[in-house]
Amino acid sequence: QWGKGKPWTNHLSTPEILSETETGMSRLSLSDADKKVRDWFIDTTRSLGCVVKVDAMGNIFAIRPGKISGHATDIASAPTYAGSHLDTQPAGGRYDGILGITAGVEMLRVLEENSVETAFDVGLVNWTNEEGARFPISMVSSGVWAGEIPLHQAHELREVGGKGATMKEELERIGYLGTLPASYEANPMAAHFELHIEQGPILEASKQRIGVVCGVQAYRWYTIEVTGREAHTGTTPFSARADALLAAARMISHSHEIASNHSALASSGILSLSPGSVNTIPGKVKFSLDIRAPEDGTLDTIETQLQQSFREIASRDMTKGLDLSVSWRKDSDSPATHFHQDCITIVREAGEAVTGDKRLVRDMVSGAGHDSVYASRRCPTSMIFVPSRDGVSHHPEEYTSPEDCAIGAEVLMQSVLRYDRL
């Protein structure tokens, strides 16, 4: 079919307009590129003295032994982790997720090169398919670890489009289907700290350097399917049509309005239709809907309103032609998250210590989901944000300055060490 939204490759098609720092990344979860970076992750952390474990979701845990090395399943003496992800959007940047992992590797290197002895084990975890871009549930593997998503559901999750491979098949194919159970009980963490780019405009606008992330807004993903009737574009009067694309267009435009009214967000990132011919009215359209708001209740309200208004848009009254049908499928649901006070305090103190200026540090709520959302259900958690130029993310021009990356990495290490000493 026509221009089926082909993902970008590793090389941008428009290098001439990009400076050296403006280079994108396309490393979909469990792709060959992902296998390569995973192999690098394991080699590197092993060379820094870590023991490496891979669980049934392909999550990779690199653990550097402390003075008291915990028993595998003992939470009291479990490792304090830094963590994030190495997968990207189809046309993503070089910072989202990747910064948190490279900063974690840096932390391990600094500890090793300076022969630092921590009280307990210290670890670094690379979570699988955080983005939800290839397998359409974001943070699915930290979700399994936290016991919030059933293992079999995640294993059977098919790549976007519904026709390709499952996560389990791809884990096997690239050799990352581990034997360790993906579970906070079998493989506990004492705490989880995540350094991440803000992906929004706030720190840059306020000229601040470190965001202390106190929580994450709620979001839900749906697939909406609109069914009308194929018909000839030249011979079918509007009054005899059930045009699934026209209805979907009205729904997308309406969801934007409703979200605006609630100071919330609504976005559609995927749309496909059939049969796909210039002179045939589409009989079927599927599109994704992503709604977000700080409060779960706001999402309840928006969902209810949209269900009602999509029904209206599909009805004879509104089409002035034939009825269409609409179906909703909820693909994922991430309630509003509030991080742990101890971790928030530690990040704030570390941020103030590293920047040397309270005014450069601010509390924030994350607009995006992160593996820390699920980690926080099972262990004390917080996150560190650094500025994103122009607030741009999920785009090859995503950029954070080397200084901000370095400050963030320093705050990450200090947070882990402060927690270790707690």
Ligand X SMILES: NC(=O)NCCC(=O)O
> What type of residue is 377?
R
Q: Residue 91 binds which entry of a copy of itself, ligand X, none, with Cβ cut-offs from 5 to 8 Å by kind? A: a copy of itself
User: Binding to ligand X by residue 279, rule CB under 6 A?
Assistant: yes
In contact, 42 and 19? CB cutoff 8 Å: no
Which residue, 84 or 118, is less far from ligand X as judged by CB? 84
User: Binding to ligand X by residue 234, rule CB under 6 A?
Assistant: yes
The residue from 220, 370, 389, 418 that contacts ligand X (CB under 6 A) is: 370
User: Binding to ligand X by residue 237, rule CB under 6 A?
Assistant: no
Which residue, 134 or 348, is less far from ligand X as judged by CB? 134
Q: Residue 370 binds which entry of a copy of itself, ligand X, none, with Cβ cut-offs from 5 to 8 Å by kind? A: ligand X
Q: How far apart are CA 215 and CA 363, in angstroms?
A: 9
Instruction: Bin 331: left if φ > 0, else alpha if -120 < ψ < 50, else beta.
Output: alpha
Find the part of the chain contacting ligand X (CB under 6 A) among 57-65, 131-139, 174-182, 379-387: 131-139
In contact, 326 and 225? CB cutoff 8 Å: yes
User: Binding to ligand X by residue 361, rule CB under 6 A?
Assistant: no
Q: Six-digit token pair at 339?
A: 């991080």
How far from 288 is each of 63, 107, 111, 136, 331, CA to CA, in Å? 38, 38, 44, 10, 9
Number of H helices, E strands in the chain: 12, 16
Q: Closest approach of Cβ 231 to ligand X, in Å?
A: 11
Which residue, 292 or 418, is less far from ligand X as judged by CB? 292
Which residue, 88 or 414, is less far from a copy of itself as judged by CB? 88
Q: Closest approach of Cβ 101 to a copy of itself, in Å?
A: 19
How far from 309 is each of 18, 212, 247, CA to CA, in Å? 43, 38, 11
How far from 74 is each of 143, 182, 187, CA to CA, in Å? 20, 16, 8
Q: Which of residues 85-104 bind ligand X (CB under 6 A)?
A: 96
Can you tell me which residue has the tokens 């963590």? 83
Which residue, 267 or 272, is less far from ligand X as judged by CB? 267
Q: Closest approach of Cβ 232 to ligand X, in Å?
A: 6
Q: Residue 230 binds which entry of a copy of itself, ligand X, none, with Cβ cut-offs from 5 to 8 Å by kind? A: a copy of itself
Q: Closest approach of Cβ 324 to a copy of itself, in Å?
A: 14
Other Cβ atoms closer than 10 A to 112: 15
Site of interaction with ligand X (CB under 6 A): 96, 130-132, 138, 232, 234, 279, 368-370
